[in-house]
């Protein structure tokens, strides 16, 4: 089973990934972007902001995604549980927000990069505006977070749209809940999948 934990900054993805890695010790724990040696280099290029074009930046992320699918996802898809911190869904969500590419182009290019391999389920840790703004006020902000809560909430809605475009099952979970409760909800959903 290949699942992805999605959510905007401060939603608690890393915390849930850590909890799930203990519950599924044999699982492959991975992330997008930057899970491969090539991906680390691509991530550094993107963060250096050398790419002047949004399209160039998007294509760099696609290159990372293609390598990730080839190196990590595909070899383990049939035999291991795969838990990913973000996925193609995030990439499409950010691209939708920028509006530089048509929706069909986004899907076609991602289908090419991923060979049509996407998470079977996406768990979205969903934040309210109030909770997001409180969490942002408690930390030093990175470049994305400095764009503000409205931008991040727009990304959150775009994650939902991306799942619909890719026809991926989406499970929304209230990120305001206690950490253990969120973990339990994810676990219950995974277990119900195995039983069905």
Give the pLDDT score at 25.
96
Mean pLDDT of 187-191: 93
Q: Which of 34, 7, 4 is nearest to 135 (CA)?
A: 7
Q: Which residue has the higher pLDDT, 184 or 141?
A: 184
Segment 73-82 mean pLDDT = 96
| Digit-coded pLDDT (tens) for 103-124 | 999 999 999 999 999 999 999 9
Could you give the CA distance from residue 130 to residue 152 in angstroms, rounded to a whole number? 12
Structural domain including 70 reads 2-195
pTM: 0.93
Q: How many domains does the chain have?
A: 1
List phi, psi (to 5°) of 176.
Answer: -80, -15
CA distance 10 to 162: 20
| Cross-strand bridge partners of residue 16 | none
Q: What share of the chain is helix, strand, coil (3-state, %, to 5)?
A: 60, 15, 30
CA distance 191 to 196: 9
> What is the mean predicted confidence (pLDDT) over 32-61?
88
**38: Cβ–Cβ under 8 A, 6 or more apart, which residues?**
63, 64, 67
Report the chain's mean pLDDT, rounded to a whole number. Answer: 93
What's the CATH code of the domain at 54? Answer: 3.40.50.300
């Amino acid at each position: 089973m290949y699942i992805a934990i999605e959510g905007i900054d401060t939603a608690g993805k890393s915390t849930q990934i850590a909890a799930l890695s203990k519950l599924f010790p044999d699982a492959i724990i991975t992330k997008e972007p930057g899970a491969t040696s090539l991906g680390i280099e691509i991530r550094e290029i993107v963060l250096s902001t050398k790419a002047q074009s949004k399209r160039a930046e998007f294509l760099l992320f696609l290159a990372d995604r293609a390598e990730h699918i080839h190196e990590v996802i595909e070899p383990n898809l049939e035999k291991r549980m795969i838990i990913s911190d973000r996925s193609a869904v995030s990439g499409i969500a950010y691209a939708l927000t920028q509006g530089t590419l048509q929706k069909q182009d986004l899907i076609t290019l991602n289908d090419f990069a991923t060979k049509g391999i996407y998470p079977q389920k996406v768990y979205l840790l969903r934040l309210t505006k109030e909770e997001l703004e409180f969490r942002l006020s408690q930390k030093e902000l990175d470049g994305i977070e400095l764009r503000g809560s409205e931008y991040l909430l727009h990304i959150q809605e775009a994650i939902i749209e991306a799942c619909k475009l890719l026809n991926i099952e989406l499970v929304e979970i209230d990120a305001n809940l206690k950490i253990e409760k969120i973990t339990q909800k994810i676990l219950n959903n995974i277990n119900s999948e195995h039983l069905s």
